[in-house]
Homo-oligomer: A and B are copies of this chain.
Amino acid sequence: MLNFSKSFKLKNQMTAYQSLSKSQLLNIRDQLDKKIEEIRKQQLSLDMTRGKPSEAQLDLSLPMLKVVGADNYTAKGNVDCRNYGGLDGISEAKEFFAQYLGVTDQQIIIGGNASLNMMHDAMSISMLHGTTDGGPWVNEAEINFLCPVPGYDRHFAICEHLGIKMIPVAMTEHGPEMDRVEALVKDDQTIKGIWCVPKYSNPTGICYSDEIVERMASMTAAAKDFRIFWDDAYRVHHLGHKIADVAHILDACKRVGNEDRAYIFGSTSKLTFPGSGVAMMAGSENNMAFFRKHLAYQTIGPDKLNQLRHVLFLKDKAGLMDHMEKHAVLLKARFDAVQEVLADHLSGKAIAHWSKPEGGYFIDLDALPGTAREIVAMAAHLGVKLTPAGATFPYGNDPEDKNIRIAPSFPTVNEVSKATEVLCVCLEKVSINQYLKSADH
């Protein structure tokens, strides 16, 4: 579904596998089989399934564990962070993360350790209690959500779990295909929202253009309670170049009088510790007042000590940027390793194209249609785990069976190279089989 044609020109059209003869293909397959036998003997056990930071990245935040202690547990306003209270977070965390997300203190709620939890809760609250613009979604006969594809499996899982039907929308290089989004949303009241990862998108790595953000904010929606779930997960997660600019959805919504349309989510999962981070939700003051009201039934307050820990450790914008530079160095080495191996093995063969993201946690690869499942299964047999084929589509169903998500952050650089090599070998072999099969018919 992705259109990489413009950005990923083939280096050497002459060696494209589709132009090779059957005997040439069989010859290459023999060589691949030898490689596969070698790989099998190595009994690999490598994992590129998830966007998990590496140990080296986690080590960057170890000093954070020391900043709160017996002499340091008090937040602004003489708040004892050890005790109950503070429904939507401590003042300094609201200030820090409001600046991080580009909103005001009144437009943010600081939560627990998982933005996924806040997204799920926002959806669950919409189901049971509705929004500021309408009643509970459970009362409606059908609820639909737009899902740009390929996208994030955990977003799709929330919808599936809650019985919200998903409508896939293709991604372009600049964001979701807005003509289709606008056409769908304009007349269909059952379409209540859309999932977006606006910067360094999971898995495509693309950044939404200003035009896309503008159209998303201003489009006419038949559902008054239409909501954009704006998962700003990779806001400062660049790969060693400058951080990409994406227009601010809340500002865009406000300008056109749709201030309540967008819910923004963020977290420090990939700034500090994925398991012990701080999550946040932002939106219009009206929306945030609505969520605070509901939150009061769910909890007395979040873990304030951990919020204090984060603010004391990250300090300020400069501190955050410094910290992210260190992440970028570690991540870039791994992303470069993938790019190098992919280029070495696959360039010019016209059997795959892949993204060259400038941030985020993934490289997105499209193989030949009808091959992704087999490639991922073959790699697994050789000891290299990849994200399950199809996971990047609603219901795990990639209609073309071609999309593969590469998540290189966790292994070491050498492991990443090795794992990518295995992926390439599998991809080549399955692609050749595909060509041979179609040649036979």
Contacts A124-B128, A138-B128 known; A298 to B116 CB distance under 8 Å?
Answer: yes
* Residue interface mask A71-90, B partner, CB < 8 A = 1: 00100000011111110000
Chain B nearest CB: distance from A405 CB in Å? 16
* Contact residue among B84, B274, B298 (Cβ-Cβ distance under 8 Å from A83): B274
* Contact residue among B116, B299, B304 (Cβ-Cβ distance under 8 Å from A276): B304
Chain B nearest CB: distance from A240 CB in Å? 23
Q: Which residues from B are CB-within-8-Å of A294?
A: 161
On whether the beta carbons of A274 and B300 are closer than 8 Å, the reply is yes
Interface footprint category on A: 35 or more
On whether the beta carbons of B300 and A114 are closer than 8 Å, the reply is yes
Chain B nearest CB: distance from A4 CB in Å? 29
Contacts A80-B55, A83-B53, A84-B274 known; A297 to B120 CB distance under 8 Å?
Answer: yes
* Contact residue among B52, B85, B299, B305 (Cβ-Cβ distance under 8 Å from A117): B299
Q: Could you say which of A20-28, A62-70, A230-238 contacts chain B?
A: A62-70
Q: Which of A84-139 contact B (CB under 8 A)?
A: 84-86, 112-114, 116-117, 120-121, 124, 127-128, 138
* Residue interface mask A240-268, B partner, CB < 8 A = 1: 00000000000000000000000000000
Chain B nearest CB: distance from A339 CB in Å? 25
On whether the beta carbons of A83 and B306 are closer than 8 Å, the reply is no
Please report the C-alpha to C-alpha distance between residue A190 and residue B426 in the assembled complex, in whole angstroms.
57
On whether the beta carbons of A82 and B275 are closer than 8 Å, the reply is yes
On whether the beta carbons of B50 and A275 are closer than 8 Å, the reply is no
On whether the beta carbons of A69 and B65 are closer than 8 Å, the reply is yes
On A, residues with C-beta under 8 Å from B are: 50, 52-53, 55, 58, 61-63, 65-66, 68-70, 73, 80-86, 112-114, 116-117, 120-121, 124, 127-128, 138, 154, 157-158, 161-162, 269, 273-276, 294, 297-306
Q: Could you pull out 10 A-B pairs where Cβ atoms are within 8 angstroms?
A: A58-B80, A61-B82, A65-B73, A82-B274, A84-B269, A84-B275, A114-B299, A114-B301, A124-B124, A303-B303
